[in-house]
Amino acid sequence: MTGAGDAVARLVRDEGTRVLATLVRVTGSVDLAEDAVQDAVVRALETWPRDGVPANPRGWLLVAARRRAVDVVRREAKRLGKEADAMPAVDPCPDPVSVRDDLLRLVFTCCHPALSLEAQVALALRTLGGLSTAEVARALLVPEATMAKRLTRAKQKIATARIPYRVPAAEELPARLAGVASTVYLIFNEGYTGRVSLLSEGVRLARLLVELMPDEPTALGLLALVLLQDARRAARFLPGGEPVLLSEQDRSKWDASLIKEGVALVSVGLRRTPSIPNAYVVQAAIAACHDLAPTYAETNWDAVISWYDVLLTVQDTPVVRLNRAAAVAERDGPSVALALVDALPELADYPWWHASRAELLHRLGSPSAGEALDRAVETGLPAPHAARLRARIDGK
């Protein structure tokens, strides 16, 4: 596809998400709206590159999608010998507030806690990310037929359980927004397990949340966190896909513009949370400490550990304590860190706990490092990470 064609495809995809959100409200059906918008998108991709982008691309898609939805409803009514229900008209020039509200409703519908996390991730990629069912299946390493059934079940549950298409009430919002953020962050993190296309999707969805909720610390912190981590993408993997440790990355490959944007978002997030820390903002502050260090040796480990201590006040989990121990290892040495890691036996089935033990035991010169790595592999440590750590332990 040409550069102009790529630009049209991006425009259609971005506008299609907003049109879908409005059409779900108008039709009352995720399935019908999705099919209608898909038809409009196909038509746009066929005609816009040839005839030019219309002056009001969103309105063009909205009218075309509604027309398709009306045709489907009439055809189905005729098949059943019934009168077709009237479908509300759509404003081809909806105001930004209405579009934002429709999108927010779709975000919270896709990420409703009544749906399983795997269904939330799939629906978010399909509806908010604009990926096809085949693309979602490839991204999540699931057969297309299986993904199609998963998406169908999720949409059926929305309908049968009457999951409301609305923004949660004020008292519900913090918990529900945390669920939405978790889904988006999971999508982003999946990108670092070899599904690289999901990195961009995670960033795109995080940007969408900030666009929709610019004053929410969770949204600000999430976007800051993914930007500060994504800034290292070019240096994070070797050409063959093998991971590169943070201490060994070529920092000249880091994206300075993403770091600058991420740090600015951290500042805004911290100002918005002067008394009660926000977990995503604090995690982003930790990432900023790493990104702003000129070299690994110059990392401010006191600041990193202090931020972890703040994070523990709002998110005291074994995984956070494990990550804090990694920072302690750099400041206070591997023996102090190993004691902290060994104090987390509840992570015995977590591959990164065993990998951390293997690394620390290796630094201490212990022959048990290999056994810890074997256990990490048994519990699911990704093969590229295992190979990299084994090479270090074997001195290769």
pLDDT digits (tens, 9 = 90+) for 250-275: 999 999 999 999 999 999 999 999 99
Q: Which residues contact 113 (CB under 8 A, 6 or more apart)?
A: 176, 179
Q: Decide if 90 contacts 66 (C-beta within 8 A).
A: yes
Nearest to 256 by CA among 281, 227, 236: 227
Q: Could you write out the DSSP letters of every residue in 300-311?
A: -HHHHHHHHHHH
Element holding 38 (H helix, E strand): helix 30-51
Nearest to 317 by CA among 182, 128, 136, 151: 182
Residue ending a domain, among 43, 62, 91, is 91
In a domain, 387, yes or no: yes
pLDDT at residue number 85: 67
DSSP category for residue 168: P
Radius of gyration (C-alpha) of the chain in whole angstroms: 24
DSSP 3-state assignment of 40?
helix
In a domain, 9, yes or no: yes
The count of structural domains within the chain is 2
* Type of residue numbered 189: N
Phi and psi at 377, nearest 5°, equal: -65, -45
In a domain, 86, yes or no: yes
Measured CA angle at 203 (ends 107, 43), to 5 deg: 65
Q: Which alpha helices (H) appear in the chain, and where do they start and end?
A: 3-27, 30-51, 57-79, 96-110, 117-123, 133-139, 144-160, 173-190, 197-212, 217-230, 233-236, 256-272, 279-292, 301-314, 318-332, 334-342, 351-363, 369-378, 383-393
In a domain, 132, yes or no: no
Residue ending a domain, among 91, 107, 130, is 91
DSSP 3-state assignment of 243?
strand
* Type of residue numbered 340: L
Nearest to 106 by CA among 41, 34, 42, 195: 34
- pLDDT < 70 regions, the chain: 1-5, 81, 83-86, 193-195, 396
In a domain, 19, yes or no: yes
* Type of residue numbered 65: A
Tell me how far apart the alpha carbons of residues 233 and 95 are, in angstroms, rounded to a whole number: 37
In a domain, 194, yes or no: no
pLDDT at residue number 242: 76
Q: Could you write out the DSSP letters of every residue in 53-88?
A: --SSHHHHHHHHHHHHHHHHHHHHHHHTT-PPPP--
Residue ending a domain, among 73, 91, 109, is 91
What tokens appear for 12 in the block?
């259609």
pLDDT digits (tens, 9 = 90+) for 135-160: 888 878 789 999 999 999 999 999 88
Tell me how far apart the alpha carbons of residues 29 and 90 are, in angstroms, rounded to a whole number: 15
Measured CA angle at 102 (ends 97, 107), to 5 deg: 120
Tell me how far apart the alpha carbons of residues 112 and 118 are, in angstroms, rounded to a whole number: 12
pTM: 0.82
Q: Which domain, by its residues, includes 74?
A: 1-91
Nearest to 329 by CA among 355, 305, 346: 305
In a domain, 391, yes or no: yes
CB atoms within 10 A of CB 254: 19
User: Residue 341 sits in a domain of what CATH number?
Assistant: 1.25.40
Q: Decide if 205 contacts 187 (C-beta within 8 A).
A: yes
In a domain, 223, yes or no: no
* Type of residue numbered 156: Q
DSSP category for residue 140: T
